[in-house]
Amino acid sequence: MRMPVKVFGGRWERIGQLEQGGQGVIYLVKDLRDPQGGTAALKRLKNIQRLDRFSKEIRALKGLDAPDIVRILDENPEPPEPYLVMEYCSHGNLEKRALQQWKRKPLESISRILCIFERICAAVGKAHKAGITHRDLKPANILFRDDSDSPVVADFGLCYLDDDDSRLTICEEAVGPRWYMAPELESGRAKNVNPRSDVYSLGKLLYWMLSPGNVFSREVHREQEWNLIGLLNEPALEHVNVLLDRMIVVDPAKRYSDASEVAVAGAETNRLIKGGFRVISTKIQQRCTYCGIGYYKPVPDPYNFGIQTNYAGAKWRIVACNHCGHVQLFRLDLAEDSNVWDRDTD
């Protein structure tokens, strides 16, 4: 059945439909003022009762002029036909792109995924710096303009602006996607929303990107069934677990303060993984760097090596290869964080 022609604002001609939700419809449109200008995405609000939220989305996007955040081209926040026109990212969203990649072969590289994640965090960090909390971070809202690994953050329909004291979410309505939502936002609790809520969602997003495609309702990334190390058979993912420990956690105070801080931590995590640096843990099998066959095991009695553990306050940790006997020695009392190994025994 042929779609009837409709023009928004005397300018944007509808040529197809992209998505439809409970509150809005997104159409593929072309600009009658610029026939050679390609296509765009027009979001039409269906429920006029949500006009305040829609106006907030427009306001947020107009204040974010960044290449990694979806660009706004035109808007009309007034009834009876409020709409928002954005660039059309023709290469789909992260969900569709990743699932297609997984069907062909496993995720190509942990490092590549971390690079994409770092760019996502940098984009969200710009919103945080502008006083905007996204509140709806999920794979479907990360878009791509082309085949490159440069993501575009979209859909600020649930965003919160620091300079606006109003909370536009009905009290029983969940704020954000179920699987990615921070605990403090469940059941419509939006009183204490801040960038740390987005940090939680970004942690879930990273886990989804690496797992691949797994989601969970709560903070279980360390449990055996969900641990990335076992899922991908890659001990180096303990570096990612350390990153997630400060993201997927119930207490907001224990999370990174905003997405920019996550971007920095993500880049450091990527450096550690690409460089082949080991995680500080005796719970994870670590292959010997000398023979490449055996694995390091803790040595419970340092006296076997003629070491006096109580000499001048020295605190030793020793591991030895179970194949060739290669030994690694650590003086914990010389480390800035002398408890770095003790956490491994918790």
Tell me if 2 is assigned to some domain: no
Q: How many domains does the chain have?
A: 3
pLDDT value at residue 177: 62
Q: Are residues 154 and 234 in the same domain?
A: yes
Q: Is the pTM of this model over 0.75?
A: yes
The answer to whether residue 61 sits within a structural domain is yes
144 and 122 co-located in one domain? yes
pLDDT at 174: 45
Same domain flag for 31 and 50: yes
Query: Which domain, by its residues, includes 62?
Result: 7-87
The set of catalytic residues is 136
Q: What pLDDT does 216 receive?
A: 85
Same domain for 100 and 151 = yes
- For residue 210, which of 197, 229, 187 has the smallest C-alpha distance? 229
Please spell the DSSP secondary structure of 196-233, one letter per residue.
Answer: HHHHHHHHHHHHHHHTTS---SSS-TTSTTT-HHHHHT
Q: Are residues 193 and 248 in the same domain?
A: yes
pLDDT of residue 321: 96
Judge if 144 and 231 occupy the same domain: yes
Among 35, 57, 87, the domain boundary falls at: 87
Residue 90: name the closest of 145, 37, 44 by CA: 145
Tens place of pLDDT per residue across the chain (346 aa): 445 558 999 999 999 999 887 678 999 999 999 988 899 999 998 878 788 888 888 888 888 888 999 999 999 988 888 999 999 999 999 988 876 665 554 555 889 899 999 999 999 999 999 999 999 999 999 999 998 889 999 998 888 887 665 544 433 344 446 789 999 887 666 667 899 999 999 999 999 999 878 888 889 999 999 999 999 888 899 999 999 999 999 999 999 999 999 999 999 999 999 998 988 888 888 999 999 999 999 988 777 777 776 677 788 889 999 999 999 999 888 998 878 887 665 5
Output the domain CATH number for residue 224: 1.10.510.10
Distance of CA 149 to the CA centre of its chain: 15
Spatial distance between the Cα atoms of 57 and 75, rounded to a whole number of angstroms? 11
In a domain, 286, yes or no: no
The CATH number given to whatever domain includes residue 40 is 3.30.200.20
Same domain as 99, residue 71: no
Same domain? For 102 and 209 the reply is yes
213 assigned to some structural domain = yes
Do 206 and 119 share a structural domain? yes
Residue 258, in any domain of the structure: yes
Question: Residue 194, CB half-sphere, CA atoms under 13 Å: how many?
Answer: 9
